[in-house]
Amino acid sequence: MSQGSSHAVVIGGSIAGLLAARVLTEHFAHVTILERDDLPAHTEGRRGVPQSHQPHTLLLRGKRILEQLYPGIAEDFRRHGALTGDMTGAGRIAVGRTYMTKYHSGLPLLFASRPLLERVVRDRTRALPGVSVVRGAAQGLLTTPDKRKVIGVHYRTGETDGQSLRADLVVDASGRGTRLPAWLSDLGYEKPQESRLPVNVGYTTRYYRREPTHLDGDLLFGVFLQQPKDRRAVTILALEDDRWHVALAGWHGEHAPADDAGFLEFARGYEHPDVHRFIRSLEPVSEFATHKYPANTRRHYERLKRFPEGLLVIGDALCSFNPTYGQGMTVAGLEALALERTLRRLRGRSLWKAYFKAAAAAVETPWSMATGGDGSYPESTWKRPLAARLLAGYFTRVQAAAMVDDEVRRSFFEVLHLVKPPTVFFSLPFVLRVLRASRSSMREGDRAA
3-state SS track over 255-266: CCCCCHHHHHHH
Spell out the long-range contacts of 145-149 with Cβ–Cβ below 8 A and sequence spacing 24 or more.
Answer: 147/187, 147/188, 147/308, 148/308, 148/309, 149/308, 149/309, 149/310
pLDDT in tens, 85-117: 998 899 999 987 889 988 888 889 999 999 999
Cα atoms in the 13 Å half-sphere on the side-chain side of 269: 17
Would you call 367 helix, strand, or coil by DSSP?
Answer: helix
Q: Report pLDDT for 439.
A: 79
How far apart, in whole angstroms, are the C-alpha atoms of residue 191 and residue 182? 7
Average pLDDT value over all residues in the chain: 91
How far apart, in whole angstroms, are the C-alpha atoms of residue 131 and residue 13? 12
Residue 368 has pLDDT above 50, yes or no: yes
Which tops the pLDDT comparison, 324 or 181?
181
Domains of the chain and CATH, by start: 7-50+57-82+115-195+297-370 (3.50.50.60), 84-110+196-293 (3.30.9.90), 386-448 (no CATH)
Sequential DSSP letters for 44-67: ---TT-TTTTS-----HHHHHHHH
Residue 440 has pLDDT above 90, yes or no: no
Q: Which of 12-21, 158-167, 205-214 has the lowest average pLDDT?
A: 158-167
Burial category of 376 from C-beta neighbours within 10 Å (exposed 0-12, middle 13-18, buried 19 and up): middle
Burial category of 332 from C-beta neighbours within 10 Å (exposed 0-12, middle 13-18, buried 19 and up): buried
Q: Report pLDDT for 46.
A: 47
Asked if 170 contacts 70 with a C-beta cutoff of 8 angstroms, the reply is no
85 strand-pairing partners: 109
- Please tell me the pTM assigned to this model: 0.93
Instruction: Please compute the mean of the pLDDT values over residues 34-45 and round it to a whole number.
Output: 71
- DSSP one-letter code for 1: -
Q: Residue 322's closest CA among 233, 409, 422, 243?
A: 233
Residue 159 has pLDDT above 80, yes or no: no
Q: Report pLDDT for 443.
A: 55
Query: Taking the mean position of all CA atoms in its chain, how far away is CA 204?
Result: 18
Q: What are the two backbone dihedrals, phi and then psi, of residue 92, each rounded to the nearest 5 degrees?
A: -115, 115
Instruction: Please compute the mean of the pLDDT values over residues 125-134 and round it to a whole number.
Output: 97
How far apart, in whole angstroms, are the C-alpha atoms of residue 201 and residue 253? 7
How far apart, in whole angstroms, are the C-alpha atoms of residue 39 and residue 133? 9
The residue type of 26 is E
What is the DSSP pairing of strand 220-224 with strand 91-95? parallel
Burial category of 37 from C-beta neighbours within 10 Å (exposed 0-12, middle 13-18, buried 19 and up): middle
Residue 289 has pLDDT above 60, yes or no: yes
Asked if 172 contacts 141 with a C-beta cutoff of 8 angstroms, the reply is no
Q: How many CB atoms lie within 10 A of CB 359?
A: 25
302: left (phi over 0), alpha (psi -120 to 50) or beta: alpha
pLDDT > 90 fraction of the chain, expressed in percent and rounded: 76
Split at pLDDT 50, 70, 90, the class of 2 is very low
239 strand-pairing partners: 243
Close Cβ partners of 332 (under 8 Å, ≥ 6 residues apart) = 15, 16, 19, 314, 315, 316
175 to each of 39, 144, 329, how far by Cα in Å?
A: 16, 25, 12
Q: Residue 135: in which H helix or E strand, if any?
A: strand 131-135
Q: How many CB atoms lie within 10 A of CB 222?
A: 20
- DSSP one-letter code for 283: P
Close Cβ partners of 134 (under 8 Å, ≥ 6 residues apart) = 32, 33, 34, 35, 155, 165
Q: Report pLDDT for 1.
A: 46
Q: How many CB atoms lie within 10 A of CB 177?
A: 11
What is the DSSP pairing of strand 91-95 with strand 98-99? antiparallel
Residue 435 has pLDDT above 50, yes or no: yes
Q: Which of 176-180, 349-353, 358-362 has the lowest average pLDDT?
A: 349-353
Q: Report pLDDT for 444.
A: 56
- DSSP one-letter code for 191: P
pLDDT > 70 fraction of the chain, expressed in percent and rounded: 92
Q: Report pLDDT for 162.
A: 81
